[in-house]
Amino acid sequence: MSDDKPLKSAIELAMERMAKKDAEAGITSKTLTDAQKAAIAETRNFYEAKLAELEVLHQSTLRGTTDPAARETLEQQYRRERDHLTTERDNKIARQRA
């Protein structure tokens, strides 16, 4: 190797290949503004707190329930609420990116 370029890692090579494929396909990357980054971070923090609160309440409710059928119902309700919050968070972040 006569030139002074440092060797690239496998990750760097893969990222270059992906960027080349994206450019060929006409896909452009859009950088986020500082305001968008801050809004996304705030949204993530808000929903992280909501999910943690939901988890604590769920565990508390489960400790007081011994009936297996009631526990299963509580588990299903918890999963639905968690999925709802996660979907809501992802939708807000997508809107903030646009």
pLDDT in tens, 62-79: 999 999 999 999 999 999
Determine the structural domain holding residue 46 and report its residue range: 32-97
pLDDT surpasses 70 at 1: no
Report how far residue 46's alpha carbon sits from residue 42's, in angstroms, rounded to the nearest whole number. Answer: 6
pLDDT surpasses 90 at 29: no
At 67, list the tokens.
């009936």
Residue 9 lies in a domain: no
Q: Which residue has the higher pLDDT, 43 or 32?
A: 43
For residue 27, how many other CB atoms are within 10 A of its CB? 10
**Residue holding tokens 């370029």?**
5
> Would you give the end-to-end CA distance of the chain in angstroms?
44
The number of folded domains in the chain is 1
pLDDT surpasses 70 at 13: yes
pLDDT of residue 3: 65
Q: What is the pTM of this model?
A: 0.69
pLDDT surpasses 90 at 85: yes
Residue 20 lies in a domain: no
At 33, list the tokens.
């503004």
